[in-house]
Amino acid sequence: MTDRLYYTDAYLSDFEASVLQRTDEGRRVYLDRTAFYPSSGGQPFDTGDLGGIPVIDVVDEGDRIAHILAEPLPGNQATGRVDWARRFDHMQQHTGQHLLSAVVSDLLGHRTVSVHFGREASTVDIDAPRMSAEQIRLVEARANEIVVENRPVAVSFEESEQASGLRKAPGRQGTLRIITIENLDRSACGGTHVRATGEIGAVFIRKVERARNGIRLEFLCGGRSNRRARADYDLLTTMGTELSASIDELPGLIAARLAELKEAGLARRELEAQLDVYRARELYTAAEPDRAGIRRVVHRHVGGSLNQLRGVAQAFTAMPLAIFVAGTEHPPAVMVATSADSGVDAASLLKVLLSEVGGRGGGSARLAQGNVPGREQLESVLASFEEETAKK
């Protein structure tokens, strides 16, 4: 049985212990006592070193705790050193979670159904159908008030039958380890916690999303809140510099720029439409009418896509007795457009042209398009149309 020193003193980082057993060629070590917290209850394990050898995992085996080391540990006595920055960060997040869950329960009446402590951020899943932005602000503000009140956070051991006022019924009988935040919360928990709410530092709810069991709140506490706030501020400052504005002016400025962009887009599309009409007229004027008076044009559009040609095709065939055939190379594709009075169905004409080279496509009586296997086939389609045209 390993004596868990963190149960009674979460602030103990250095300790002496006797080695009781070692397995896995000395890399899996069992001690009589340890300050190393094993992964459990959602809180990640501590790192650090044992006799100068890095501790890479700590496993809770029920009665005992296994220390997994990078190399075998020699000797029967060892000094353990817990990586304090990592541990204290976990203590801030974990106590912050107790605080947040209690405030959500007291203010809104919603239960916490699960918690997760991650490397970057932590989450609590709340048994609530929804939470408004106003409710989130309220919860965050209340949690931070209690942080400033610096209420004691105490650890006690109580028998399950006698333990009263617990927020959640304990899942087991016998002696419970109870964490009490003064005048706020009593919860049975085996994790490590700070000794007063002031040490949690700023509580920051970062994200609210739907979860399987209700609502998931992503939160940061203490040092993580400060680092995130600094990163956010740096990001905003970079954006401000980019736009030559103070960060407070950014929302208005970005909205104005987006409106300008939208207006410029509309104006551009209008100009493109005008240009299409102009180009179509130019092509129409240059085309020699056949004996039936039909003007045909074959447009070899090397770059760009068929979509970019659609405007010209439609403008061309908006004029009387007109047939427009165009090809693009990347990917090899053909477009056919015809005016209603030409007596030619665009989809049928396309089908005839494509059938010779094994292409695929379709469309309406006025506009149709399709793909051909390659550049050679594309050229053959355009050439056979021109040949047909020359006969008329």
* Contacting positions for Zn ion (CB under 5 A): 189, 191
Nearest CB to Zn ion, comparing residues 113 and 323? 113
Q: In what order do the strands lie in the sheet with 203-211?
A: 112-117, 122-126, 214-221, 203-211
Residue nearest to Zn ion (CB): 189
- Cα 243 to Cα 249: distance, rounded to the nearest angstrom: 10
Is the CB of 189 or the CB of 202 nearer to Zn ion? 189
Cα–Cα distance for residue pair 133/140, rounded to 1 Å? 11
Cβ atoms of residues 277 and 283 within 8 Å: no
Cβ of residue 192: shortest distance to Zn ion, in angstroms? Answer: 8
* Minimum distance, C-beta of residue 264 to Zn ion, in the bound complex (Å): 55
Closer residue to Zn ion (CB): 94 or 142 = 94
Written as one string, the DSSP assignment of 32-78 is: SEE-PPPSBTTBPPP-EEETTEEEEEEEE-SS-EEEEESSPPPSSEE
Task: For residue 291, give both structure tokens.
Answer: 């004996």
Considering beta carbons, is residue 191 or 222 the nearer one to Zn ion? 191
Q: Which is nearer to Zn ion, 168 or 299 (CB)?
A: 168
Shortest CB 193 distance to Zn ion, Å: 6
Query: What spatial distance separates the first Cα and last Cα of the chain, rounded to whole Å?
Result: 101
The smaller minimum CB distance to Zn ion, of residues 28 and 167, is found at 167
Tell me the closest approach of the beta carbon of residue 95 to Zn ion, in angstroms.
7
Q: Whole-number minimum distance, CB 44 to Zn ion, in Å?
A: 13
225 SS3 class: helix
**Shortest CB 73 distance to Zn ion, Å:** 30
Find out whether the peptide bond into 38 is cis, omega within 30 degrees of 0.
no
Query: 194 with 200: CB under 8 angstroms?
Result: yes
